[in-house]
Structure 1
Amino acid sequence: MPQVLPDWLTPQQFQQAVKEMRAVVGDKWVFYEDGPALRSYRDAYSTLDDDAFLPSAVVAPDGVEEIQKILKIANDYRVPLWTISSGKNFAYGGPAPRKSGYVVVDLKRMNRIIEVNEEFAYALVEPGVTYFQLYEYIQKKGYKLWIDPAAPGWGSVLGNTLEHGVGYTPYGDHYMMHCGMEVVLADGTVLRTGQGSLPGTQCWQLFQYGFGPVLDGIFTQSNLGIVTKMGMWLMPEPPGYMPFMITYPNEDDLFAITEAVRPLKVNMVIPNGAFTVGLLWEAAVKTTKAQYSTAKGPLPDSTLKKIASDHKLGMWNFYAALYGPKPMMDNSFKLVRDALGSIPGAKFYFDGDRKGDPSWDYRVKLMRGIPNMTEFNIVNWVNGGAHIDFSPISPTRGEDAVKQYEMIKTRAHEYGFDYIGEFAVGWRDMHHVFQLIFNRSDEAERKRAHELFGVLIDEAAKAGYGEYRTHLAFMDQIAGTYDWNDGALWKLHHRLKDALDPNGILSPGKMGIWPKHMREEKA
């Protein structure tokens, strides 16, 4: 077992705490000895060494009562915990804890779908419920409802929502579509947010607010409580669905695409989570870099043009969909065609035009709520492929899209990496996701990727672009960029942490939020 424990915790105390946790959940659900079971909780894609983010133990409770007992033990011994829902977040840190010496609390056994209500189109789920599981349940029941999955369907519905994840249907802003949480605080208190705090409530999953301050947000991307249940609104199956893709041949078309799509999104002509996807993101789903070049460094323009030609792709590829009765979709599409089709070189593709094309097929599924795992093919772009996602927020404005693209591409090329990115277009913003694909077995390349990521954080923040989510290794750096008014927001986060979790046992360091004694130690 990796014995890298906090200064205040002796190995004997840690062993006793683990022994007591074992008595709560049973031998089968505690992993303590160093070996494959424990090491399966490492971050498989980390830019750092394997042991940088490796738990000293793992406990997997099944239910609120077991969580409460584990919290009591952790408070008694001041054992730091790290809570995960299913541990499948391999873009931003996987199931690993912030540092060695933590006990991972794995909620995968809490995988019950408590309710799916077809009349009001919602689900109430536990943390371990995956997109695949919820989708299959709805299909088996024959409900006319769609879910909104993240790209990897094996992820947790609740976990992705808490991390501010996005999807591909009109319900793509997952936190916006949540309704009601059950939360266990560090002292074991169980509370329900919104209408759930009213005994005998009839509206917990129907109305997001209750009476008084709305607290749901403080339990997202935080370490202030353990969310054990969450309501999610589902999309009623529409009478029609029209997915489409538009390819654009030129790199500098990004400006015009972004300017054209903004009014379509703000006015909800395009209602779903639309995406402007770079060439290599699309290509990496179905091919590898080695098929085109064995040279080191980013691919030259001549090779990019060859890839585009071979796969009928543009330098930019725009995906969206329309939903509803056919006359309504036809009318909306006229506006789409006039705006996005007016850019020279635009070529439209519809259902049936790209049969057998995996990059088309998986996005068409996602935009109609069918989870899959196809996007993970991208990590095979290079040998020993791993990835870490850099994702600054951008206004839906051509000038900003180009500025971010040029900034990230230039730095990526400088460090020897390809630009593999996409813009997820929301109502008024875009999540610009740059997949930094690197060979994890190459130590020098791994170190270059780590350095590049840190440089991008600082440059983006200096230009006014903040990250919305990040890898464990960069949480403090990004938290430090949100420093308006002498860091007033993070000072409030720390005040909340000290009040709700005085022993600092819940995920210390999550999103740069540390308990008081660890802040003092770091200082």
Structure 2
Amino acid sequence: MSQALNKPPTTDELYRGYPKRLAEEAKYSKDRLLSHKTLPDSVPRQRGVRLPPDTSRETFDEAIAALQQELGKDNVVVNDKPLIDGWYLEHPNTHDAFHLVDQEDLVASAVAYPGSTRETQAIVRWANKYGIPLWPISMGRNLGYGGSAPRVPGSVVVDLGMRMNKILSIDAENASCVVEPGVSYFQLYEEIQKRKLPLWIDCPDLGGGSVLGNAIDRGVGYTPMGDHFANHCGMEIVLPTGELLRTGMGALPGKDGKDNPTWQSFQAAYGPYVDGIFSQSNFGIVTQMGMWLMRETGHQSYMFTFPRDEDFPAIVEAMRPLAQNRILGNIPQLRHIVQELNVTGLPKSHWYDKSGPIPRDVIREHSKQLPIGECSWVFYGTQYGDEASINTQLQLIKATFSSIAGTRFYLPKDLPDDHYIHSRAKVCSGVPVLRELDWLNWKPNAAHLFFSPITPTKGVDAQVVHDLNVKLHEKYNFDLFPTLCVAGREMHYITNIIFDRSSNDEKKRANALMRELIASAAAEGYGEYRTHLLYADQVAGTYNWGNGALLKFNETIKDALDPNGIMAPGRNGIWPKKYRGKGWEILGDENEKAVGGGTIAPKSKL
């Protein structure tokens, strides 16, 4: 049965599901997206089980049997079934749903489902015994960055979300919680509502991801607590040897065997602050984490529109003092008007039926028909506090943006109920949603890839990165969808590259575009804050001050903590000694060559 005919699961039925309040939206979103699909749900696999490097089938079978004995047979599953890309809430944990190379390339040999920290430790010790690489995931929903795919094909994916999905505590007075990796933003929000607590969560654009996983990958949200890793407090970590570590105040034992009462109150504790080395790294498996929550407050979302493409640097210059003086209440977004077309959920063919990027004059003509009218840039913001303070803040913001001729201001009440501003208003008040999936209807079999450099909040810097994007998207024949997440001194310039994963040509062009974007931005002094696993080596290599001092430092830590090299080799460009310099790094056009029958493989044996 095609997945398009299946009702997606609720959180009551499956921890990965959606809350009942979004039942109609989830069904509509799934059915509409899959209605554009021309690919079958799955095709016969060309290979058998993808074995771990330098592991015979006999050794693999022996190892799997031993792990099943430890965890239970149902909790260790060999990856010999059809590969199905699925849908956002029914995504695979065996490969990348948005595969940029062949679907069978970056695949797991098996998936293990620990139910506790103790079982996670058992998996790690097992991996050391058999020399099998692990690839831990929380829920695998970092779509656009590689999803669940292991960087080393044949690794065993450790899916922490399936059975480790408990909210361990919510402290209303302290405005904090402790969660396991499988707790989604949907799940945490619904529990807070069920308990009628005056607390907010901070969520990213989509609510189905892992609270813990997003934080340790340094993801962002849109309330004043939008820097997720900055608002974590205390972690429990299984190290690559199987030993257990607690960071922050958790390193101090509590009374009568309980957790220390200050574990979620103070981040650093005593001595070096080590938490950072476990973000965007492969130095351990985080099995629980404390997160700070926001006190419920008044709020008002709004938007500004700006008429001309060339207003871009002036808009950035206007935003900077507002952000640095903390007048902007949250982490706002500045988006190009083309984003207003694709968040309608209508396909590109509705707006433009020719090949090639949609021309600027066509975008402008269509924008005239939108509720906000003809414009080039759209700013979404939210202010917080009581009514008087919000009104004062808005007057200051209006006065600043009014220096740009033709600027218009809107509140949610000024726009139709189906306008995107209402989704932004929910996200910016801590309510997780699904609306952001709509832009995937832009192409059939749509997948996406993020290019995410950091720029200073200065017009001249932002213009350099924007111009690079415009030039290279035109060169490789892709539509440009830029979104800037704005802070006082920096902006995340996030480019969403949407491609048809059934097209080898589009995959090759997307790979080439991404490689050139990374190299060109780095040559101007701008680096990515996060990237797809296929470009981790290239991005890590751009941070090469001092003859690559940072990467060497990371490798020194890696070798000390993971002498057998079993923990997520290659994640974020950090390779253990066992793999390093043996052909696993992707630094050229290997991705393009792997599309259509090639393979991402080492150039020499381990």
Specify the SS of the correspondent of 2:517. Answer: helix
Structure 1 residue 123: deviation in Å? 1.0
Aligned to 1:24: 70
Aligned to 1:208: 267
Aligned to 2:568: 507
Structure 1 residue 36: deviation in Å? 3.6
Aligned to 2:136: 83
Distance 1:281 1:2, change over 3 A: farther
Which of 452, 468, 471 is equivalent to 1:391?
A: 452
Aligned to 2:390: 329
Structure 1 residue 481: deviation in Å? 0.5
Q: Does 1:72 align with 2:125?
A: yes
Matches within 5 A, 1:40-51: 40=92, 41-51=94-104
Structure 1 residue 333: deviation in Å? 1.3
Letter in 2 for 1:68: Q
Per mean C-alpha deviation after superposition, the further-off stretch among 2-11 and 349-358 is: 2-11
Counterpart Cα distance in 2 of 1:110 and 1:3: 26
Q: Does 1:231 align with 2:290?
A: yes
Aligned to 1:310: 369
Aligned to 2:107: 54
Which of 52, 61, 64 is equivalent to 1:15?
A: 61
Specify the SS of the correspondent of 1:191. Answer: strand
Aligned to 2:347: 288
Cα distance per residue 1:425-468 (max 9 Å; x no partner): 02311000000011111111111111110000000100111001
Counterpart Cα distance in 1 of 2:79 and 2:502: 25
Distance 1:437 1:154, change over 3 A: same
Cα distance per residue 1:231-251 (max 9 Å; x no partner): 11111001x211110011111
Aligned to 1:149: 203
Q: Does 1:132 align with 2:178?
A: no
Structure 1 residue 11: deviation in Å? 1.9
Letter in 1 for 2:61: Q
Specify the SS of the correspondent of 1:245. Answer: strand
Which of 252, 256, 277 is equivalent to 2:314?
A: 256
Structure 1 residue 33: deviation in Å? 4.2
Letter in 1 for 2:340: E
TM (norm. structure 2) is 0.84
Counterpart Cα distance in 2 of 1:33 and 1:477: 29
Specify the SS of the correspondent of 1:516. Answer: coil
Letter in 2 for 1:18: I
Structure 1 residue 345: deviation in Å? 1.1
Counterpart Cα distance in 2 of 1:194 and 1:33: 38
Counterpart Cα distance in 2 of 1:33 and 1:466: 36
Letter in 2 for 1:87: G
Counterpart Cα distance in 1 of 2:329 and 2:105: 42
Q: Does 1:469 align with 2:530?
A: yes
Counterpart Cα distance in 1 of 2:141 and 2:53: 30
Letter in 2 for 1:219: F
Q: Does 1:192 align with 2:246?
A: yes
Structure 1 residue 282: deviation in Å? 2.3
Structure 1 residue 520: deviation in Å? 4.0
Aligned to 1:348: 409
Structure 1 residue 37: deviation in Å? 7.0
Q: Does 1:63 align with 2:130?
A: no
Structure 1 residue 50: deviation in Å? 0.5
Cα distance per residue 1:294-350 (max 9 Å; x no partner): 111011122111221121253110011110011111111111011113211111111
Structure 1 residue 383: deviation in Å? 1.9
Q: Does the CA contact (< 8 Å) of 2:68 and 2:76 recur in 1?
A: yes
Counterpart Cα distance in 2 of 1:295 and 1:79: 49
Structure 1 residue 402: deviation in Å? 1.4
Q: Does 1:423 align with 2:484?
A: yes
Q: Does the CA contact (< 8 Å) of 2:238 and 2:286 recur in 1?
A: yes
Structure 1 residue 126: deviation in Å? 0.6
Structure 1 residue 6: deviation in Å? 4.7
Specify the SS of the correspondent of 2:66. Answer: helix
Unaligned runs of 5+ in 2: 1-46, 86-91, 255-259, 584-603
Counterpart Cα distance in 1 of 2:481 and 2:287: 35
Specify the SS of the correspondent of 1:166. Answer: coil
Letter in 2 for 1:23: Q
Per mean C-alpha deviation after superposition, the further-off stretch among 156-165 and 336-345 is: 336-345
Q: CA RMSD in A?
A: 1.4
Counterpart Cα distance in 2 of 1:432 and 1:307: 25
Specify the SS of the correspondent of 1:277. Answer: strand
Per mean C-alpha deviation after superposition, the further-off stretch among 357-366 and 71-80 is: 357-366
Aligned residues: 522
Q: Does 1:35 align with 2:88?
A: no
Aligned to 1:174: 228
Cα distance per residue 1:174-214 (max 9 Å; x no partner): 01111111111011111111111011122110111111001
Aligned to 1:247: 305
Q: Does the CA contact (< 8 Å) of 1:113 and 1:125 recur in 2?
A: yes
Counterpart Cα distance in 1 of 2:326 and 2:48: 52
Counterpart Cα distance in 1 of 2:53 and 2:310: 54
Q: Does 1:265 align with 2:323?
A: yes
Counterpart Cα distance in 1 of 2:281 and 2:185: 22
Q: Does the CA contact (< 8 Å) of 1:182 and 1:230 recur in 2?
A: yes
Distance 1:406 1:500, change over 3 A: same
Q: Does the CA contact (< 8 Å) of 2:343 and 2:420 recur in 1?
A: yes
Cα distance per residue 1:112-170 (max 9 Å; x no partner): 10111111111110111000000000000000001000111100000000111000101
Per mean C-alpha deviation after superposition, the further-off stretch among 57-66 and 347-356 is: 347-356
Structure 1 residue 399: deviation in Å? 0.9
Aligned to 1:278: 336
Structure 1 residue 18: deviation in Å? 1.4
Structure 1 residue 8: deviation in Å? 3.4
Structure 1 residue 502: deviation in Å? 0.4
Aligned to 2:28: none
Aligned to 2:217: 163
Q: Does the CA contact (< 8 Å) of 1:31 and 1:37 recur in 2?
A: no
Aligned to 2:172: 118
Distance 1:81 1:7, change over 3 A: closer
Q: Does the CA contact (< 8 Å) of 1:58 and 1:104 recur in 2?
A: yes
Q: Does the CA contact (< 8 Å) of 2:52 and 2:109 recur in 1?
A: no
Counterpart Cα distance in 2 of 1:127 and 1:380: 29
TM (norm. structure 1) is 0.97
Q: Does the CA contact (< 8 Å) of 1:483 and 1:489 recur in 2?
A: yes
Unaligned runs of 5+ in 1: none
